[in-house]
Structure 1
């Protein structure tokens, strides 16, 4: 048999250029077709020009557009978690939720910072709880052990103590910024009430934790603080005895404050905070009175990313403060020692303390301290009920009277606090 029948025809003159490389563009050589297969000279068999098509991998074609590729273990985790927790519904809600953006939007971030500092409190508190002993004989020694023997114990305690004070300060800022923005307007009355309750609970949080190191300052500051509670008319003496577990600060007081700090108050805080967060997420952020139109940004990821930046800044501030100003241990408390000069409660109670020190002994034949305490209780009640009292804000009108009242309260707290530290007095 003639083998020439099975030979490929000799290439014609254009054959060498049938497949040629184009110049190198964008640093990648491209191959283009410029002629048909050699030997297919019949017009009926000539093919049209080659057209490039987009290439898609098998993995890409098997997935819905826009959905990131997941590994097998991620698919298994999602298949288990999704039917049980419905995380996709939470993600969709966060993406659909909008946050108003205007010249006062900066104040929105303080609520998230409060949550962040509370989480730090929980984490560091659990770590301290592993080594702390709530007894008169061992409380101070256990703090010394944490500060000197436990790895990074000094840092953990400093972070816990500093964030407790910063948290209360941030809560005050968040509360008054909400007040001045009139964010308590309907339908957010319950949001305001739960926020006010959280402020009170965190004040109790700080007061109960202040005694736990059982040092000289915390012991006598607790005595001063409970003396303030004892001034409350009708129930003051009974309330003071209940708080202390007796007539004076003692081991029973330390035990009560410990369980109040690590169990009772945290449980109530988690409940109220859960309600507060649900209300905020459901009702959204309130626009200030007078702002009709404002740009809106998605809660996720835009607002969450900005909020996270605030968290990181606060974490950096706490870290710097703890490194350069670590929290001191102080000398162990001696219940039989006389009260040191200049002793005072923690800074967030100093405006009360200073007011009781400068108020006259009697006002119209009534004890001045009693009138002062009644004034603070009445002011707190009115502050709690402000959503129902400020009717102009409820009608989306400016209420300058309440704004002035808020400014007076802020100035009064700042002035009384400053006087406490500028002119320390002998404790009672």
Structure 2
């Protein structure tokens, strides 16, 4: 007996895996499923394996620290032999994986493959889609360039709007109140260990259920799914008009997966890796940060939404979308599968695809909400500098140099992403201004790492002068009580801010 046969027999006697593998490979599937429409699931698995392999190789070079991550990617792209190609394969593999998973989900929906008895298979697929998007987002953050920094700032602001627990979630995500070295460490752990581990476990369970429940048959018009009879009818169809998965159906999966890998390699060789772009610097916002293509539609929608609609859309729309996808097999788990007799399903897919394509296209050239040319070198209006102390004028200089006017207007000039600051001193106390500048919040990133203590002090003193003459400046009522033992009669509450106003 040859040595390799003896080795195989020795291993098989202890592992006993030949039986399950043969059962999986030779199980019968309906002949109609040996179609090019059924290759997207296996292609998704192939791309996942590609991401795992290239990700492991990248992790040998990448340094997840704020001071070295950007440089490690530059070394990978420009100094290591074929490092750029490995980086590009991982980046383009991510794009292809998101696209193929979305196509697979649409195909499963149109073919009615979420119906009985495959409800849990569909739900697992929904969570796998969310984890795929999570891998894509965390991967973009690990580039830690200008796009990654601002994208992470926007992501943190979205999470910070969650009622009651938003602040705690932001601290958990960033490793503190601002973007720093701990942030990259956490995203590295998410991107390399947590999300891929969960995705691989869900993928294994997903494949197991496909093997046990069978590949969804071709949706013929008039073939109704009934819980009482479907399993029996499917088994009869698989045995009367079925073929072994290997080799009858698997060859198309292999050909399509090979074509996808070739397309990824072609894009990697021709277009190269994604970034990194400029070194992240929160004080430089003369940039047009854009997310990767699968998030561009969100970027576009948020650019066009009025400010008061952003938070409801961000918090409610995703929850509704996920809830609809999860509830789908329970609401429409039986009945017709064929798309020819499900016009609402076809219209829904077409409508969502057109909206996604239009918003994505707009996102490629739609300007970001801050007016990037708002700070043109014009001086702060003279009326805001008259009768000011040297420290307050120094704060005005910091306000100008740090380009705060790209997002905030003063005297009617400047950006409109953030609120106008002409009356900021009537809305925020000095302590609240310091906290907002250092830690950020809402759409504003944290500037604690970009300002020295003296610059922060001067800037806040200047902002503290921005209140109309007829309105008192906001003050901390607790300090007034500590000094005088009671609140003044003129105390009021600022609606929408909740800050007690007291004389200083």
Could you state the TM-score of these two structures normalised by the residue count of structure 2? 0.65
1:22-421 aligned at under 5 Å gives the runs 72-102=2-32, 105-290=35-220, 296-362=242-308, 367-393=309-335, 398-421=341-364
- Displacement of 1:87: 3.3
Alpha-carbon distance between aligned partners in 1 of 2:334 and 2:254, rounded to the nearest angstrom: 35
- Displacement of 1:118: 0.9
Counterpart position of 2:420: none
Alpha-carbon distance between aligned partners in 2 of 1:170 and 1:235, rounded to the nearest angstrom: 34
- Displacement of 1:329: 3.4
Alpha-carbon distance between aligned partners in 2 of 1:421 and 1:101, rounded to the nearest angstrom: 43
Alpha-carbon distance between aligned partners in 1 of 2:247 and 2:166, rounded to the nearest angstrom: 50
- Displacement of 1:192: 0.4
Alpha-carbon distance between aligned partners in 1 of 2:77 and 2:191, rounded to the nearest angstrom: 20
Counterpart position of 1:12: none
- Displacement of 1:260: 0.9
- Displacement of 1:104: 9.1
> SS state of the match for residue 113, structure 2?
coil
Q: Is the 8 A contact 1:226 1:240 kept in 2?
A: yes
- Displacement of 1:416: 1.7
Alpha-carbon distance between aligned partners in 2 of 1:303 and 1:173, rounded to the nearest angstrom: 20
- Displacement of 1:314: 1.1
Alpha-carbon distance between aligned partners in 2 of 1:262 and 1:395, rounded to the nearest angstrom: 38
Q: Is the 8 A contact 1:229 1:236 kept in 2?
A: yes
Q: Is the 8 A contact 1:110 1:170 kept in 2?
A: yes
CA offsets 1:227-267 (integer angstroms, 9 cap, x no match): 33334444444333322223332222111101111111122
Alpha-carbon distance between aligned partners in 2 of 1:94 and 1:287, rounded to the nearest angstrom: 17
- Displacement of 1:332: 4.1
- Displacement of 1:369: 3.0
> SS state of the match for residue 297, structure 1?
strand
- Displacement of 1:103: 8.5
> SS state of the match for residue 91, structure 2?
helix
CA offsets 1:323-348 (integer angstroms, 9 cap, x no match): 11111433443333233443222222
Q: Is the 8 A contact 1:351 1:417 kept in 2?
A: yes
Counterpart position of 1:13: none
Of 123-132 and 75-84, deviating more is 75-84
Q: Is the 8 A contact 1:97 1:299 kept in 2?
A: yes
Could you state the TM-score of these two structures normalised by the residue count of structure 1? 0.76
- Displacement of 1:132: 1.2
1:97–1:340 Cα change, 3 Å? farther
Name the larger-Rg structure.
1
> SS state of the match for residue 211, structure 1?
helix
Alpha-carbon distance between aligned partners in 1 of 2:46 and 2:123, rounded to the nearest angstrom: 21
Alpha-carbon distance between aligned partners in 2 of 1:368 and 1:161, rounded to the nearest angstrom: 30
Cα RMSD after superposing both structures: 2.5
Alpha-carbon distance between aligned partners in 2 of 1:184 and 1:147, rounded to the nearest angstrom: 43
- Displacement of 1:95: 4.6
1:231–1:419 Cα change, 3 Å? farther
Q: Is the 8 A contact 1:139 1:212 kept in 2?
A: yes
Of 106-115 and 223-232, deviating more is 223-232
- Displacement of 1:356: 2.3
Q: How many residues align?
A: 354
- Displacement of 1:82: 1.9
Q: Structure 1 segments of 4 or more deviating over 4 A?
A: 291-295, 394-398
Alpha-carbon distance between aligned partners in 1 of 2:176 and 2:211, rounded to the nearest angstrom: 44
Gaps of 5+ in 1: 1-70
- Displacement of 1:299: 0.6
CA offsets 1:279-333 (integer angstroms, 9 cap, x no match): 1111121124335579533211232222111121112111111111111433443
Q: Is the 8 A contact 2:55 2:90 kept in 1?
A: yes
Q: Is the 8 A contact 2:34 2:249 kept in 1?
A: no
Gaps of 5+ in 2: 224-236, 371-416, 418-504
CA offsets 1:363-393 (integer angstroms, 9 cap, x no match): xxxx453145302311221112210111453
Counterpart position of 2:384: none
- Displacement of 1:93: 1.2
